[in-house]
Structure 1
Amino acid sequence: MKCPHCIYSNPEGEKFCLSCDEFMIHGKDDQERNSIFYRFAHRVDGLPRSHRSVEPKFRNLFSRVFRKHSEIEAERLFIVGTGLTTPKIEEVEETWPKPWLFARVFLIALISYIGLYLGVSLFGNINFIPGLIVVGAFAVPFTTLIFFWEMNAPQNIAIYKIVYVVFIGGILSLLVALVFYDILGNNINVITIGITEELAKVITVIYFVRNLKYKYVLNGLLLGAAIGAGLWPLKRQVMP
């Protein structure tokens, strides 16, 4: 089905264009335009530019969270970053992407956590405890990582690179933080812990973005989220 707005060829059955996100089917589907969230987003978009903190429209961020999405859309999110799938910077849209998968990931993690918790609390099975710890530690960092993955408009980082940064970057930032802790000695407190951990992540991010290939702000945010996703579960085990 071709979109009447941008002439993009979409799979059959899609209500919204995968390229421009505009409605392709009119009728009762137009009721979605009148939803509270949609009207609120349009009200925000109507604010003068002097009142906006960012140029992209507010509705671009969450307009697709509550819509039905196909597996094809999810698959397309991860087929990027290679020499054949990285778009030219001129082809990147001026507005930010419209993330939605992160909400599904968080919901799945939440359901998994509740299931594991019930296994421990109701049935007293201690074998659920390791899974409960892992899912509880990774749920929010991994959801945040998926959000910034979807927000990476240049689409110039492959998924295997992110997996590499999660594990290697998490370990490196942990080691850097431990070095700082050793230097601080007995001066460790709530304030120094926060400063030390964030500084360790910054140093690790700088190491990974030293390649000029990752020169965009959204690249740095994505790599920072990947490092944070790797560091958070580890630090809960070994850091003070």
Structure 2
Amino acid sequence: MKYCPHCGNLVREKANFCPSCGNALVETSHAQSVSDSNNQFKEIYNNATAKLNHYTGEEGAVKVNIVDLFSEVFKHHTKDEAKSIFIAGTETTTPALADVSDEWAKPWLFS
């Protein structure tokens, strides 16, 4: 089976053009196909992080280091550490805006 890389419809094995969208069907090597898939994943990832970043009032894609983001998951944490996450909105728990870190959070509690 062969699929059109432009529209995803099934095409004949020997076809040169897709009957659905009319685009030329170009033979690609496995390495080129993997490279194209990686580029497509990066584009989707960048678009997703850019949209999320836009909701925070910022612009552009964001690099997220998944290993760093989840680095606290397998470490031992006390119940007091967990409680301190949920205590918020008081004079002693709400930092000034200038004191809020712009580093990525490490969401160990929710794992």
**TM-score band, normalised by the shorter chain?**
0.3 to 0.5
Q: Which has the larger radius of gyration?
A: 2
Give the structure with the higher percent helix: 1
Could you state the TM-score of these two structures normalised by the residue count of structure 1? 0.20
The alignment's TM-score, normalised by the length of structure 2, stands at: 0.39
